[in-house]
Amino acid sequence: MGVGVLKKYGEFLPLTEDTPIFSLGEGDTPLVKSNRLGKELGCKELYFKLEGCNPTGSFKDRGMVVAIAKAVEEGAVGIMCASTGNTSASAAAYSAYLDLQAFVLIPKGEVALGKLAQAMAYGARIIMVDGNFDAALTLVREFTRNHPITLVNSVNPHRIEGQKTAAFEVADVLGDAPDYLFIPVGNAGNITAYWKGFVEYHQLERTRTLPRMMGFQAAGAAPIVHGHPIANPQTIASAIRIGNPASWQQALKARDDSGGTIDKVSDDEILEAYRLLASREGLFGEPASAASVAGLIKQVRQGLNLSDQRVVCIITGSGLKDPDLAVSSVTAQTIEVEPTMEAVEAAALATA
């Protein structure tokens, strides 16, 4: 069991003597070597960073533990965020631990059930906004300007600081940076954080190289790819249904400084990757997470040669958060039988 992000990487974080040090067990997530997809895609090495193994089931916990620690240090009594679901789950959990009031604004009807259940269980005040994530974030920015409540979306720099530790872990485990890093892009905080982490490690000579940052938006919610905000973003990957990312400029910088790309993947490509990840690798990520793998598949199909490259895909959140989608989108393989051996044998041994 890890000691948590604040303890493990404290020397790289903006901590002071007054910062409370605590952990719900975030960080130290597995970097799993691909057994099948990497070969099929012709990668020299392919790894998946399982951020769904964080305590609330997504990468948000890394940044949230820092943002909440700093909020407490600064005397906050409450925090607020807008969220497509994972940020709100994480904010609610860390607030519960520290007895802070959490206010979460979520787009009504657009958050996966598992994430909503988390925020409810952790005891956040849930405010459903009849609008999308971008509208909710605008409201949160204004509210927190006028009230003594700390904003904990990734426009809070402490979130980025915490999330950069995932890049440190990848480099610590591989012994260097990977050649390529594939990552989903929504509000663009995470791609910003990984790039910051890799650059810092490189400056400290903990790595010899820097990765190419390969970010992927959903095709119906791809403002960075199209070069303008999307008023009504649409995608099955609700976590990245965002039309005006807060860290847009930082994402462009990560792309350009790293020699990478920010591209889009269709919902069909996301669902294909979502199924392949589970059925070929035993890894169940949520649909938004699969955008990284969908992006890898797309780039390889378009001719990217990775035969000499070490590749990491970030699986940002757990598939368990969105069970409805799994059940409705994966071809059902269930057979109902009478409770007899004949029926079970017939069902088990029947040729598909």
Q: Which residues bind to ligand F0G, rule: CB under 6 A?
A: 58, 60, 83-87, 154, 184-190, 239-240, 286, 288-289, 316-317
23 vs 118 by CB, closer to ligand F0G = 118
235 vs 289 by CB, closer to ligand F0G = 289
Q: How far is the CB of 299 from ligand F0G (least distance, A)?
A: 18
Q: How far is the CB of 70 from ligand F0G (least distance, A)?
A: 18
- In 3D space, the residue among 45, 44, 62 whose CA is nearest the CA of residue 53 turns out to be 62
Q: Please give the Cα distance from 60 to 158 (Å, whole number).
A: 12
83 vs 331 by CB, closer to ligand F0G = 83
Q: What angle do CA 13, 28, 4 make, to 5 degrees?
A: 50
The answer for 105, left when phi > 0, alpha when psi is -120 to 50, beta otherwise, is beta
Q: How far is the CB of 172 from ligand F0G (least distance, A)?
A: 22
3 vs 278 by CB, closer to ligand F0G = 278
Q: How far is the CB of 257 from ligand F0G (least distance, A)?
A: 17
> Beta strand pairing status for 78-82 and 150-151?
parallel
Q: How far is the CB of 109 from ligand F0G (least distance, A)?
A: 15
87 vs 132 by CB, closer to ligand F0G = 87
199 vs 221 by CB, closer to ligand F0G = 221
Q: How far is the CB of 90 from ligand F0G (least distance, A)?
A: 8
168 vs 274 by CB, closer to ligand F0G = 274
Judge contact between 84 and 110, C-beta under 8 A. Answer: yes
55 vs 189 by CB, closer to ligand F0G = 189
Indicate if the alpha-carbon torsion angle 20, 25, 28, 34 is positive or negative.
negative
DSSP per-residue letters across 10-51: GGGS---TTS----SS-S---EEEPSSHHHHTT-SEEEEEEG
Q: Which residue has the tokens 């960073």?
A: 49
Q: Please give the Cα distance from 254 to 216 (Å, whole number).
A: 13
Q: What is the DSSP letter of 305?
A: -
Q: How far is the CB of 347 from ligand F0G (least distance, A)?
A: 36
Q: How far is the CB of 111 from ligand F0G (least distance, A)?
A: 9
Q: Please give the Cα distance from 30 to 283 (Å, whole number).
A: 11
Q: Please give the Cα distance from 147 to 154 (Å, whole number).
A: 19
Q: Please give the Cα distance from 269 to 180 (Å, whole number).
A: 20
Q: How far is the CB of 121 from ligand F0G (least distance, A)?
A: 17
C-beta atoms surrounding 54 within 10 Å: 27
Helices (H) and strands (E) in the chain, counts: 15, 10
Helix (H) or strand (E) holding 261: strand 261-265
38 vs 215 by CB, closer to ligand F0G = 215
